[in-house]
Structure 1
Amino acid sequence: MSKYSDKYLGRRSIQFLFVIIVVLMGIQFFDFVQSVSESNLTLSTRPAGVEAFLPISALVALKAWLTTGVFDRIHPAGLVIFLAAMSVSFLWKRAFCSWICPLGTLSEGLALLGQKIFKRNFVPPRWLDYGLRSLKYLILGFFIFFIVVIMDGGSAYAFLQTPYNMVADVKMLEFFINMTWIGFTVVTGLILLSVLIENFWCRYLCPYGALLGLFGIISPWKIRRESHTCISCARCSSACPNHINVDKMQKVWSPECTGCLNCVKECPVSNTLKFGLLNPSFSLTPKKLALCVIGLWFGIIGIAKLTGHWETSISPEMYRMLIPMMDQFSHF
């Protein structure tokens, strides 16, 4: 039975929901930028959720908040989403990556395409796999060093107020609309590699996933295996998209575990694999995990909206002034 069988439609449904949300936000944000650029009298609404694609700005905002006590007003939704992703990962491994992240969903879809074309996904040799996996931690270390270690709170706050950061979301949109040959080559290369190698971006290059994986290590919920009922069929390991040898572990600590629960669903022996705490009564089925992830995610966003920590303080007039000049802004 394929590990991507119809049994997984529960997680797929949630992934599809978030893909729809992201696509609709992208269309709405494009309309907003167009209406601002063309100085339309009727201004489209800017969706705050696009700030989810500004993780570096969110990390700087987190540094500023922790050191100065001031919550970012330029891209507050970006910081809220960053905190929500860390909260989900702290509790339930890297569930953000496998249940919510649209890039994770795209990566899985490309792997499926590769399976259909080549009847398999290619797996690098172990020595190369370990070396490539270190890349995302090196990239994460670069950002942590310069933002968390080197940058002081005042500098972090000052960066948030720069014109560059104010239009970072618009510059991101501009990158995809008017992509250079270099950008097109890089994106095309990543797509092709993701077709050939399962979860290429997520496994080897995503610093966001690396950070969430570190939170996942200390997550109280983990995949736990009952050795006395295990029949050593290894179907759990075969079902794992991150190539974790689940059948050889009592408890999965790996930062690569995304809490997708493919292994739990694939196990043929009831209650042999569980996603839970030490107390068996606190284990989560895929359906319960789905409710927990969705509840926490939208709960945090709902609180942010109610407390005024969601919409940007940048006025439409400020956007009208900044967008025509954004090519002049740099992050230095």
Structure 2
Amino acid sequence: MKMRKKVRIKVQIAFALVVLLIGIKFFMFVNYITSADSALAVNRPPGVEAFLPISALVSLRAWLGLGIFDTIHPAALVIFLTAIFISLFLKRAFCSWICPIGTLSEGLSLLGQKMFKTNYTLPKWLDYPFRSVKYILLTFFVVFIFFGMSPMEAYSFLQTPYNMIADVKMLTFFQNITAVGMTVIAVLVVLSLLIKQFWCRYLCPYGALLGLFSVISPWKITRDSSSCISCGQCRKACPNQLKVDEALRVSSPECTGCLSCVEVCPVKGTLSFKLPRKLHRFPSPFALGVTLIAVWFISVSIAKITGHWETSIPLEMYKTLIP
């Protein structure tokens, strides 16, 4: 079981390292643009657009309405669509295997468990309304973008200088973070230490959207009631407090496909991540991890080949806009 659990951790660490390298390269790119003393040319890493989900949502609005794929932040839309594709077929595996914020949130929960010997859970009368917050945030963005903006207005927004350097503004925010910003981050860190995956469970609108798509995912955690011994280990292991031991197939949008329940089940084959009935199941977390990496690699490769990865913004425009 420990070996199987390490598979997901390794995948999480691998993606986190890639994100870290992208962040370092993007910092060097901005420094190259803004510093007169910087002679070393650095290319902008398109992967930084993974942190522009709102821009990606606006891009999706323009693409669906006009058929025009965004050329300003194309990688943002590619990453967004890939995450949705994964959710449609493999539950919210993007959240538990790939997302660096999800990895950070999980890491803080584990650290809190070691520090305080436990992670606290909110009572149901607080848990349910708190869980609705991420769906309320999602509704706000979807209504504002898909019903408050026409496709042409969405496309026009994508061409604005503000959107063009949205990634730079994001970096600047953290470089010059205010006391209010630091306080908000500190509160989120403390709550994540105390409450298991606080951000993902209660506040992440991205996860809420992927969760809605994941409801129709054909692959789901499936329980064989004939061999289940009702030990309750799967429910305890579930980071989202799902009643796995009472369900035949877990359809909840809160399920992230982390396979924690499968790993702790003492009866082999009782829990599995599989298609309906006796069709294909993932034989191991390793197979799921390889599949996710392959899907990600293929998606990015297709985007590069078709010219939907690199931004169309010329270097000269960055030199004009960023300062």
What TM-score comes out, normalization by structure 2 length? 0.98
The aligned residue for residue 164 of structure 2 is 166
What is the DSSP-based 3-state SS (H/G/I as helix, E as strand, rest coil) of the residue aligned with 1:280? Answer: coil
The aligned residue for residue 320 of structure 1 is 319
Counterpart residue type for residue 8 of structure 1: K
Alpha-carbon distance, 1:7 to partner: 4.1
Alignment deviations for residues 177-234 of structure 1 (CA, whole Å, 9 cap, x no partner): 1101111111111011000000100000000000000011011111110101100001
What is the DSSP-based 3-state SS (H/G/I as helix, E as strand, rest coil) of the residue aligned with 2:322? Answer: helix
Matched length: 321
Structure 1: unaligned runs, 5 residues or longer: 325-332
The aligned residue for residue 28 of structure 2 is 31
| Distance in 1, Cα, partners of 2:263 & 2:281 | 14
What is the DSSP-based 3-state SS (H/G/I as helix, E as strand, rest coil) of the residue aligned with 1:282? Answer: coil
The 5 A counterparts of 1:298-313 are 298-313=297-312
Counterpart residue type for residue 122 of structure 1: Y
Assess if the C-alpha contact under 8 Å between 1:88 and 1:297 holds in 2. Answer: no
| Distance in 1, Cα, partners of 2:112 & 2:39 | 47
Alignment deviations for residues 12-32 of structure 1 (CA, whole Å, 9 cap, x no partner): 000000110011110000000
Assess if the C-alpha contact under 8 Å between 1:159 and 1:165 holds in 2. Answer: yes
| Distance in 2, Cα, partners of 1:305 & 1:265 | 37
What is the DSSP-based 3-state SS (H/G/I as helix, E as strand, rest coil) of the residue aligned with 1:274? Answer: strand
| Distance in 2, Cα, partners of 1:122 & 1:201 | 14
The 5 A counterparts of 1:129-140 are 129-140=127-138
**Structure 1 pair 170–152 and aligned structure 2 pair: CA distance change class (3 A):** same
Assess if the C-alpha contact under 8 Å between 1:223 and 1:273 holds in 2. Answer: yes
Counterpart residue type for residue 105 of structure 2: S
| Distance in 1, Cα, partners of 2:121 & 2:149 | 39
Assess if the C-alpha contact under 8 Å between 1:74 and 1:166 holds in 2. Answer: yes
Assess if the C-alpha contact under 8 Å between 1:202 and 1:209 holds in 2. Answer: yes
The aligned residue for residue 148 of structure 1 is 146
| Distance in 2, Cα, partners of 1:95 & 1:307 | 26
Alpha-carbon distance, 1:254 to partner: 0.5
Assess if the C-alpha contact under 8 Å between 2:222 and 2:273 holds in 1. Answer: yes
| Distance in 2, Cα, partners of 1:302 & 1:187 | 35
| Distance in 2, Cα, partners of 1:13 & 1:176 | 28
1:63 to 57, 61, 64: 61
What is the DSSP-based 3-state SS (H/G/I as helix, E as strand, rest coil) of the residue aligned with 1:305? Answer: helix
Task: Give every structure 1 segment of 4 or more consecutive aligned residues whose post-TM-superposition deviation is greater than 4 Å.
Answer: none
The aligned residue for residue 82 of structure 2 is 84
Structure 2: unaligned runs, 5 residues or longer: none
The aligned residue for residue 286 of structure 2 is 287
| Distance in 1, Cα, partners of 2:170 & 2:83 | 21
